[in-house]
Structure 1
Amino acid sequence: MVPTTSALICVLLLFWLEETVHSQRGHCAGKTCHAVFQEPRDFKGARSRCKEPSGELFVYSSASEVILNSIVGGISGQYWLEVHGTSERAEEAGLKNCSSISVVVGRKLEVLLEPCQKRLDGFLCQFAFDEPCGKLPTGGGAQVTYDTYMGFKVKNSETFPPGTIAVAEKVGSIFPDSKYVCFSSGWLKAPWNCEVMMGGCDHNCNSTTRSCICPAGQSLNSNNITCTKDPDTECEHECQKEGGTQVCKCDKDGRSRVAVDECTEENPCTGENKECEDTQEGFRCRCKGDFHEEEGVCVDSTICMKCEHRCENYRGVYQCVCLPGYKVSATDPTKCEQHCTERACLAKCITNDGKIQCSCPLGYISDTVNGTAYCTDINECENKRHCDHTCSNSFGGYKCSCDPGYELYKEYKCVKQKEKGDDESGSTSLYPTPESAQPAVVPSYIKTGSVLSITVFVVLLAVLLCFLVRNMLKRCGKFQLSSFKHHDIDIFYLQQVTTETYKRLSFD
């Protein structure tokens, strides 16, 4: 039996565990645990929350960055912490800024000062303890999950604080194989004392026998903590025990109904994104595909694995949200881009290879004032070509509008409206008409000059060509081949030449 004083301590620890929401995570080593709590609080509230289970705010130093990265890896946000007591000294001195750390996936951690009354995304705590437990020894491929009494799940740790609940279960199994509690550096297997969370029982606990009990129509599983429906309530004829299981048997005419498939007769799972699964113990409602159950509702949180900053559940739907100064990208709902709601905002600057590089949102231009980089809004309306008629500048963009009698077409063009009765339908044309005031591609005076120059050039070219042709005709009229006038040559070319004639001419 556990001593009375020790049992009381264990009761208090496990009572705290029962009342805490296990949506946080942490890491333990030796006799210290560090954890991140994603609960929006101001600095005072964060420090008070860490002290409730005998802890304190995480104390940051350059040597603690490895631990810090291990517990905030994969998440984004801004969290309260302590930097060697600077926040306490700041409060004593009447200062209004406290220490925090900015976490963005893929970027280096950055320590910042924020107003102490500001509610950040969460806070970091650290806890010291004695009599830690080692890893729970398991066999047969069982996996173990650990929940601490401080209110966070522990992963990839070698030690665990007293009051930690360890649940061992096989992959795909409906019920856990066993349940344990860390006490005095050892693991106590459930069921334990009924005064402590009903001894770890699924339904109820008998304090006299210190064993788990089940309601009518259900039997205790082999793990001695969970209950399942009795198969004899599902059998049409009789139920017999074979080995360690209950099976239905037929009567003499061979008829049998092994079990009623409650999923096919009438689907009892009517919740959104839920489906019915028939098992030997009866039906159970489970979430479809990538959906998982949270507070009785099936939600899909797979998008959270891709969120650049953080993820929130809004009316049962998870969606990515961005830190202040950013907004969700219009082209990718998992990415965040800079966002400014004023004429000028501080630029986002990073140091890369010793050089400072600053960036601004779309529609803003970077400017440096007194050594500080700012993003200043670009007034697109100063360029009159952006809109046909009227341009209204806004932070990060602009908007076009048209004069009376015109309609906006393709965001910046203005087309004239047709009056009703101009055609049979009386509809308004959304296409440009000759009357629409469209900006010319080039000024009209440039068009006129170009046409005149081309005309003059063509006329001159035609005149030159005429003189050239006329001159050639004159020269061809006077051209004579004088060498062809010799009478012998004329005969030679006009008469047929035979061999005899050739010899006679040669002797001549």
Structure 2
Amino acid sequence: METNECLSDNGGCWQDKAANVTACRDTFRGRVCECPTFNGVQFKGDGYSNCEPAGPGKCLINHGGCWHETRNGKTFSACQESGDQNCKCPAGFRGDGVKKCHDIDECKERKACQCPECSCRDTWGGYDCTCSGDLLYIKEHDTCISKTTVQAKAAWAAVWGILVALVIVAAGSYVVYKYRIRSYMDSEIRAIMAQYMPLDSQGEVPNDSHEDHPLAH
């Protein structure tokens, strides 16, 4: 009687119980430990002690075997879809990317929010930076600027946008105008040529002059 060897201790093959994936495959010759393809994702390894998802979509399978954690509805994962490293701690974290990624305290390590008017508060995977008084924090430049300055820049950006749009419309109108003028002149030239030049289909105009004949004597 044939038995399924994979039912007993997973046949001694690799298994990921969390993702419900196994390398054990039962055949008529016995079980085979072979890294599987699961939900379109190819696993690679020896099939006995190790199988890791590889290629596109690997992070969909248990985060590619990398570290991941969810807090307050926010999830971070160290799985990398591309690149040389399969597991790499995301921005705001530090660690091996496989077993653990620790939150970086950007405020304590003075990595951001260091302007004189800035007030830094560390968060899990990031930080919050606020400015004193009537100022706005610009993360790209790590500085605080006046709201009036921001509004002025936005107004100038709008003015420049309108000017550029007007220039484009004017240039387009000029091109259309030149095209119409040229088409009109071409049609006038063809009409004049039709009046003063014979058409090819009309043949040559016969010559009414008589040839001189010698007088009969």
Q: What is the TM-score with the length of structure 1 in the denominator?
A: 0.18
Greater fraction strand: 1
User: Is the radius of gyration larger for structure 1 or structure 2?
Assistant: 1
Q: What is the TM-score with the length of structure 2 in the denominator?
A: 0.36
